Amino acid sequence: MVRSLPRSRLAIAVLLAVLAGYIDGIAFVYLGGYFVSFMSGNTTQSGVELAGGDIAAAGFGFAVIVAFVLGVMLGSAISTPGRDRGALILVGVAGVVALGAALASAAPVDPGAVTGAALLAVAPTAVCLSLAMGAVNTVFNSRGGPSFGITYMTGALVKIGEGIVGAFRGGDRTGWLRYFALWLGIAMGAIGGAAVYGAVGAAALWFAVFFAVGIAGISSTVRASRG
């Protein structure tokens, strides 16, 4: 689906990848090694914690995964076949991230010290952020069916590898660059999120709120220009 996106929509997808990477970078540090958009990583970590007998840590990871799925469900429910609801979903994302930012500010933690009882203190923030990231993946779901995953970078890397080989075989020479742009967006966002969190702490999440609202505005403008 990424290959079929017009440039304006691809630009929005890259901005969403930056947003996801930014929030995930903050969350990774704030939550002591858990993710809010990379559910493969959480699945592995929760499985390891469960095997090691740390039920609380495993339960925390699985709770974040459930929140992510619920976010996808809510975003999909808002989507209407034949109508672009991306901007509305992003406004909702901004609201949920704002709630997470407020909760994080009320329950500051030391990076890397999220263990045991501390998990309960950060769980509400983790759930909010994961819920928002799940919804981000449905922004392009305007036909009532599944959309491509903005935060699914493993799939993007697979497409990059396949695309490069295809280009050498005489196929599309630039198609893989679209997936590379998404990967680069989430990577740069993660760098920015971790850096800003290091400078201002949990308040870094408020920048994500404004960014999500800005992307919603861009999405509405693009939709209006398409008529």
pLDDT in tens, 158-189: 989 999 999 999 888 888 898 999 999 999 99
Instruction: State the Cα–Cα distance between residues 57 and 80, nearest whole angstrom.
Output: 37
- Report the domain count for the chain: 1
Contacts of 113 (CB under 8 A, 6+ apart): 32
Q: What is the pLDDT of residues 65-106, one digit of tens each?
A: 999 999 999 998 888 766 778 889 999 999 999 999 999 888
| 71 within domain boundaries | yes
Q: How far is CA 51 from CA 36, 44, 48, 147, in A?
A: 22, 11, 5, 34
Per-residue pLDDT, averaged over 35-42, amounts to 92
Q: What is the DSSP letter of 221?
A: H
Residue 5 confidence (pLDDT): 66
- Give the other-Cβ count within 10 Å of 167's Cβ: 15
Structural domain of 75: 7-225
Residue 157 lies in a domain: yes
Is residue 124, in this structure, part of any structural domain at all? Answer: yes
Residue from 106, 135, 117, 101 nearest 215 by CA:
135
Residue 1 domain flag: no
CATH of the domain at 192: 1.20.1250
What pLDDT, on a 0 to 100 scale, did the predictor assign at position 118?
A: 73
Residue 2 maps to a domain: no
